[in-house]
Amino acid sequence: MAGCRRVVAFPSSAELGPALALLVTSRAEKAISSRGRFTLGLSGGSLVSMLSKELLALPQLDCSKWLFAFCDERLVPFDDSESTYGLYKNQLFSKVNIPDCGILAIDPSLPVGECAEDYCTKLRNAFPGEAFPVFDLLLLGMGPDGHTCSLFPDHPLLEETEKIVAPISDSPKPPPQRVTMTFPTVNSARCVAFVSTGGSKAPILKEVLEGRDGPALPAARVVPQNGELFWLVDDPAAASLTLQVERPGSGAKL
């Protein structure tokens, strides 16, 4: 249901990780049973190592019917340490049974505008007949300024309503050239899960989840139209929250 948000707090990221893997695999099982495949959008940062570690720890992980894409990507070569695809390739893709056609990535050899168009074409081909791709699950992070994907506060891309993905050449966080999903794509997903950990995230998490004066921060604008929204956080990140949070083991299932 649109606007239905669940905030689940874990004692630490060590407890959060297995719950994230469970959320991914439970949505995968549901999607494959219903539609024959599971479509997953990935983000970078600390999420790469956490997700890779926890998925690879699962017995009999089968990714043969999974389709991976990227919520945003930096326009750098895949062997660059800033490449989200490169990080996932090293830590996850090379270790699971996923065919090459199961990964949708940008072409970093193209100029940023053409790169976005090329990635858009790949997404349209993978989601035929849909105005915006409807992913089964998008995994998002949040920066200390409240940005998510490569959608930054006060940037014109926050108002984009027609494009599936868009180029950005002036990212306030380097590298400056990126390709990012737009809010219409993010908010079309069946499920979106933010992962936010660490005490440094506490002030901005409070602003995003409990409101602020002025325009809403980018992360606060993620409200799936017909899907679920999870915030998976650890206690240090949740330290400033006054809203009621769910606790693992309380009987609630992700």
Q: For the full predicted model, state whether its pTM sits above 0.85.
A: yes
CA distance 234 to 218: 21
Q: Just give the CATH number of 5-234.
A: 3.40.50.1360
CA distance 28 to 157: 30
Q: How buried is residue 193: exposed, middle or buried, by Cβ count under 10 Å (0-12/13-18/19+)?
A: buried
CA distance 16 to 12: 6
**Regions of the chain with pLDDT less than 70:** 1-3, 213-214, 249-252
CA distance 248 to 118: 41
Please write the tens of the pLDDT for every residue from 92-137. Answer: 999 999 988 999 999 999 999 999 999 999 999 999 999 999 999 9
The alpha carbon of 103 is separated from its chain's Cα centroid by a whole number of angstroms, namely 15
Domain extents for the chain? 5-234
Q: Are 51 and 139 in contact (CB under 8 A)?
A: yes
pLDDT at position 1, please? 40
